[in-house]
């Protein structure tokens, strides 16, 4: 009867293959491993630096220079329609005051968690009166008042007064109206907007792409 032997344990090939008896070769591999970790660490650090720099540049632009908003509602038709994507310039008002004719985004004075979009009609210290479908501005230059020429309002639209139609603005207040006067909740109903609540003015309509447009302040021809 032939004797049989059975291998009870055989080291895996990768174990025997990787075993080194030469100390110099072992040191070389250790150095290569350390070098690989070092290169990986440098790559990760470079990536972190790029992200930090990007955030330092993008976040201030996002929150202090320009901000996107989507129009909801019909109060600014036909200038802006619901669903349009607007870029708001927040930087300008850090250096200059809002101007008559600017279309601005602001916090709704009755609920500052909401944002409205309207057009500035009257400036701080002025008196505005809505009478016989006209918007009349009283200021130092025009103590007897002058009728605002609003060519952006459709001829079929009507500007109806609320109450006596008269409002006098404080030193830091702006009177705003929607371009679609029959469908707009604006200063006629809830009063003027404090400057601190104004976020910025409409800079660009970015969407739909077919209606891409940059917007400038309207020149009324008089102060």
Instruction: Give the active site residues.
Output: 75, 118
Burial code (b: 16+ CB inside 10 Å, e: under 16) for 7-27 equals: eeeeeeeeeeeeeeeeeeeee
- Exposure class string for 35-47: b at 16+ Cβ within 10 A, else e: eeeeeeeeeeeee
Q: Beta strand 146-147 with 134-138: parallel, antiparallel or unpaired?
A: antiparallel
What tokens does 159 get?
């500007």
Category of 215 on φ-ψ map: left (φ > 0), alpha (ψ -120 to 50) or beta: beta
Tokens of 58: 């993008």
Question: How many CA atoms are closer than 13 Å to the CA of 200, on its beta-carbon side?
Answer: 21
């Amino acid at each position: 009867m032939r004797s049989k032997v059975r291998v009870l344990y055989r080291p895996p090939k990768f174990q025997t293959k990787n075993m080194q008896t030469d100390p110099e070769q072992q040191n070389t591999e250790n150095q290569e491993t350390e070098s690989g970790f070092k290169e990986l660490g440098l790559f990760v650090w470079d990536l972190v630096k790029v992200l930090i720099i990007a955030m330092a540049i993008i976040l201030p632009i996002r929150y202090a220079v320009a901000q996107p908003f989507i129009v909801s509602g019909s109060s600014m038709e036909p200038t802006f329609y619901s669903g349009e994507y607007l870029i708001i310039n927040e930087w300008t008002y850090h250096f200059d005051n809002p101007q008559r004719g600017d279309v601005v985004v602001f916090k709704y004075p009755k609920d500052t968690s909401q944002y409205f979009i309207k057009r500035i009609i009257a400036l701080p210290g002025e008196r505005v009166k809505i009478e016989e479908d006209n918007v009349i501005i009283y200021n130092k230059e025009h103590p007897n008042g002058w009728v605002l020429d609003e060519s952006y309002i459709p001829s079929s639209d009507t500007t109806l007064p609320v109450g006596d139609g008269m409002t006098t603005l404080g030193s830091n207040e702006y009177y705003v109206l929607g371009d679609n006067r029959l469908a707009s909740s604006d200063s006629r109903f809830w009063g003027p907007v404090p400057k601190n609540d104004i976020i910025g003015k409409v800079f660009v309509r970015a969407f739909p792409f077919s209606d891409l447009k940059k917007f400038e302040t309207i020149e009324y021809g008089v102060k």
